[in-house]
Amino acid sequence: MPSFDIVKSWVPEVTFRTEAVKSSFTLQDVKLQKQFTGEIPIEDDNWKIGLIVGRSGTGKTSIAKEVFKEQLITNFQYKHSSILDDFPKEKTVEEITTALCNVGFASPPDWLKSYDKLSQGEKMRVDIARALLLNQSLVVFDEFTSVVDREVAKIASYAISKAVNHSNKQFIAVTCHYDIIDWLEPDWVFYTDTMTFDKKKRSKPTINLTIHECTRSIWSIFRNYHYLNTNLVTSNKNYVALYNNKPVAFISIGRSQYKYKYWQVSRLVVLPDYQGVGIGIRLLTWAAQYFYEKTRQGFFIVSSNPQLIHLRSNPHWILKRAGHSVNRNNRFRREKNLIKSSSQNRLTFSFKYKPQTRKQPQLNLTHIYPQNNQ
Q: Where does residue 62 fall: left (phi above 0), alpha (psi -120 to 50 degrees), or beta otherwise?
A: alpha
Contact 60, 191 (CB under 8 A): no
In order, the DSSP letters of 11-30 are: -----HHHHHHHHHTT-TT-
SS3 169: coil
Q: Report the amino acid identity of residue 367.
A: H
Half-sphere exposure of 101 (CA within 13 A, CB side): 17
The pLDDT averaged over each successive group of 10 residues in the chain (374 residues) is 84 89 84 87 88 94 90 88 96 93 88 94 93 93 91 94 93 96 96 94 89 93 80 90 95 82 92 91 94 92 80 89 58 39 63 79 43 35
Task: Give, in degrees to the nearest 5, the angle at Cα 192 between 186 and 197.
Answer: 50
> Which secondary structure element, helix H or strand E, spans residue 323, and what is its range?
strand 317-324
Would the CA dihedral through 83, 85, 89, 92 be positive or negative?
positive
CB–CB of 302/341 below 8 Å? Answer: yes
Whether the CB-CB separation of 240 and 212 falls below 8 Å is answered with yes
Q: What's the confidence (pLDDT) of residue 332? A: 40
The pLDDT score that the predictor gives to residue 43 is 79
pLDDT of residue 109: 84
Q: What is the DSSP letter of 86?
A: G
Q: What is the pTM of this model?
A: 0.82
All domains of the chain in start order, with CATH: 3-198 (3.40.50.300), 210-353 (3.40.630.30)
**What is the model's pLDDT at position 345?**
53
Residue 210 confidence (pLDDT): 94
Sequence-separated (6 or more) residues with CB below 8 Å from residue 253 = 236, 237, 238, 239, 263, 264, 265, 266, 287, 291
